[in-house]
């Protein structure tokens, strides 16, 4: 998302925020979760073995921000070989993470 797009989204939220109730916020949170799942499914289907990927929004936090290569797709999870530039002595060079926590790098 570009800065100008992010700013437009932020401005739109600010414009309607004064009108929202807590029930509205809870409904929006549920809807956002559904949208995230749909996006994750779409991205999962578009990923192929060998794709370069970026790990995001995951626990344990040490994985967040790491990049690597997709090795295998298995039932909504992805096996990733972490790039050599990261210190992976403690956890190894291969990790399996939920597809929702990975995005393909362009």
Mean pLDDT of all residues belonging to the chain? 87
What is the residue-wise DSSP string for 6-75?
A: HHHHHHHHHHHHTT--HHHHHHHHHHHHHHHHHHHHHHHHH--TT-EEEE-S-SSGGGTT-EEEEEEEET
pLDDT tens, 53-84? 999 989 888 899 999 999 999 888 999 999 98
Residue 43 CA neighbour count, 13 Å, CB half: 23
Structure tokens at 84: 């050599």
**Helix, strand, coil distribution of the chain in percent, nearest 5:** 45, 25, 30
In angstroms, the CA 43 to CA 103 distance is 7
Res 90 pLDDT > 80: no
In the prediction, which pLDDT does 15 show? 79
Percent of all residues in the chain with a pLDDT value above 90, rounded to a whole number: 35
Q: Sketch out the chain's domains with CATH numbers.
A: 3-104 (2.30.30.30)
| pTM for the model | 0.65
In the prediction, which pLDDT does 2 show? 65
């Amino acid at each position: 998302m570009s800065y100008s797009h992010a700013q437009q989204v932020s401005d739109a939220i600010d414009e309607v925020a004064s009108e929202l109730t807590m029930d509205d916020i809870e409904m929006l949170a549920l809807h956002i979760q559904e949208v995230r799942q749909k996006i994750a499914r779409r991205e999962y289907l578009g990923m192929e073995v060998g794709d370069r990927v970026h790990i995001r929004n995951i626990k344990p936090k040490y994985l967040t921000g790491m990049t690597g290569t997709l090795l295998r797709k298995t039932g909504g999870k992805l096996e990733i070989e972490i790039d050599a530039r990261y210190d992976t002595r403690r956890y190894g060079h291969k990790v399996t993470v939920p597809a929702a926590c990975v995005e393909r790098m362009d």
